[in-house]
Chain A
């Protein structure tokens, strides 16, 4: 396609907009399509966003309410995560659960 070439007619270089190497050996949280969530130490990655996570923990969802996370986890160890399935990556200490901000607060 025309827009895949630079002005000089060279093939456009595939560049990532985000550098994951700053997360290497850090604990990160990953969310997947389908609702799965996992957390582990990032050991490797590629431009397609496949990941290698170590000491991986999967957070299990409540079987009744697919959107609610439970306290249940399972240990998975060394894991490869498919980039095609990854929707979110963030540092493990970069997020926290908060009380629902959309509920009307009662006074008193």
Chain B
């Protein structure tokens, strides 16, 4: 069985090297639109500028959606820092819920 590079700092359990790592997928999405689904009924769509180890995210040209009351909420420009505490799903290239 081929092994991954032996130079990684933190030893990880045997993961298949040909699989897709979640944070790699998020990293590929930097610069494009991303749709973030929170634990509650809120969703955020924006351009991903970056993220950190805790998956706090910096987004631009952001639209915020409240799902239950059926309506688009605020459209914010400039940049926002989205706290990663409440993020449930990240959908690269997503346009958000149909309104």
Which residues of chain A have a CB within 8 Å of any CB of chain B?
13-16, 19, 21, 24, 32-34, 36, 38, 43-47, 50-52, 56, 58, 63, 74, 76-85
Contact = CB atoms under 8 A, between A and B. Distances in A.
Contacts of A81: 22, 88-89
B89 A82 contact: yes
Interface of B: 10-16, 19-23, 25-26, 37-40, 55, 68, 84-85, 87-94, 97
A79 B19 CA distance: 14
Given A14-B10, A19-B13, A52-B25, A45 B19 contact: yes
A13 B39 CA distance: 30
A34 B87 CA distance: 11
Given A13-B11, A14-B10, A15-B13, A46 B21 contact: yes
Contacts of B38: 34
A79 to B, nearest CB: 5
A38 B88 CA distance: 11
Contact of A16 (B13, B26, B94): B13
B23 A82 contact: no
